[in-house]
Chain A
């Protein structure tokens, strides 16, 4: 979660 595109939220 550092601006990279791993979006762990819905």
Chain B
């Protein structure tokens, strides 16, 4: 494991912790897209099918369990928690899941490395993860005042994707035959979706003003 990969995983972990902190301690999910969280739960459920068939390392298994557990508990909190669910911006969070899920499934059925159930599901999870942030970005754009924790959550998620690209560049040069076009293209697309957000995030940070995305 290289430093970029580790830093990427830790940033991903931090993003989840920031979100859980907001939901668990402040008891609010204002500005958080349930649609995006449900898509992430689906991403991890379809990607980590190998958790029961292949053992890679303790680190790998533990992280998979954390991402599965946290994504499903976040969805549970927003949908069912007595207090948290009242802060959910239902009327603003209107992105339709299937507009992302169906094209990703079709693409995975046609463009994959190997036509097996596990491999197609893995590929579907890569495509879906690439676009899963869209409902959250749309919601941020509609939210007038984005609170610090929500802003940091999205920033950390974007940073995690960026660090994975450096990880792939590093692995390409240090490991023989390390070529995964599908993973790389999906990962680059995913990172590019954050470009606009990053721009406004740094601007607000530089000028010390509240983060606000132009409509």
Contact = CB atoms under 8 A, between A and B. Distances in A.
Same complex origin of A and B:
yes
Interface of A: 1-3, 5-10
5 contacts: A1-B177, A2-B178, A5-B116, A9-B164, A10-B12
Interface string B1-26: 00001000100100000000000000
Contacts of B113: 3, 5
A8 B60 CA distance: 7
Contacts of A1: 171, 175, 177-178
Interface size class for chain B? 20 to 34
A7 B50 contact: yes
B7 to A, nearest CB: 13
Contacts of B91: none
Closest 4 CB pairs of A and B: A2-B177, A8-B56, A1-B178, A10-B63
A5 B95 CA distance: 33
